[in-house]
């Protein structure tokens, strides 16, 4: 798993990783976080990727964690992920917005919700 410091250096992570943080680590995270579930081969995920990259590059304070989701993946199950991409916009371990296969404009709206949440 990448450390939080590694995510701070580069806001957008282009790869879904098999290694995943624990639910406890996510629940204890501090600050704004975009937790993204999907698969590297998923067309819906690839379509959303450029919008997500643009938003994260504009807001480097938002940590980005991309998790390869699938059978036997505990973190995705703990959030009841069924379709990809599933985007969880979180602040201090709390879900502010959840999007499932979102249109591009919904991603921007959810990012604004995250950034305005205290």
Residue 108, Cβ neighbours under 10 Å: how many? 16
pLDDT at 7: 41
Residue 80, Cβ neighbours under 10 Å: how many? 8
Strand residue runs (E) in 1-117: 32-38, 63-68, 86-91, 94-100
pLDDT at 116: 96
pLDDT confidence band for 10 (50 / 70 / 90): low
Encoded tokens for 9:
């250096």
pLDDT at 118: 73
pLDDT confidence band for 6 (50 / 70 / 90): very low
Encoded tokens for 61:
């304070």
Q: Does domain 4-116 have CATH number 3.40.30.10?
A: yes
Q: Does 3 score more than 60 pLDDT?
A: no
Q: Give the β-pairing of 32-38 and 63-68.
A: parallel
Q: Does 108 score more than 70 pLDDT?
A: yes
Domain parsing of the chain, residue ranges: 4-116
């Amino acid at each position: 798993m990448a450390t939080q410091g590694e995510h701070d250096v580069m806001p957008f992570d282009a790869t879904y990783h098999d290694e995943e943080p624990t639910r406890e680590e996510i629940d204890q995270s501090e600050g704004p976080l975009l937790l993204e579930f999907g698969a590297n081969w998923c067309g819906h995920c690839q379509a959303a990727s450029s919008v997500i990259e643009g938003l994260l590059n504009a807001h480097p304070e938002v940590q980005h964690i991309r998790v390869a989701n699938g059978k036997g993946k505990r973190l995705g199950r703990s959030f009841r992920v069924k379709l990809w991409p599933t985007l969880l916009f979180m602040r201090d371990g709390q879900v502010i917005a959840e999007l499932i296969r979102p249109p591009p404009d919904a991603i921007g709206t959810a990012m604004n919700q995250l950034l305005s949440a205290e």
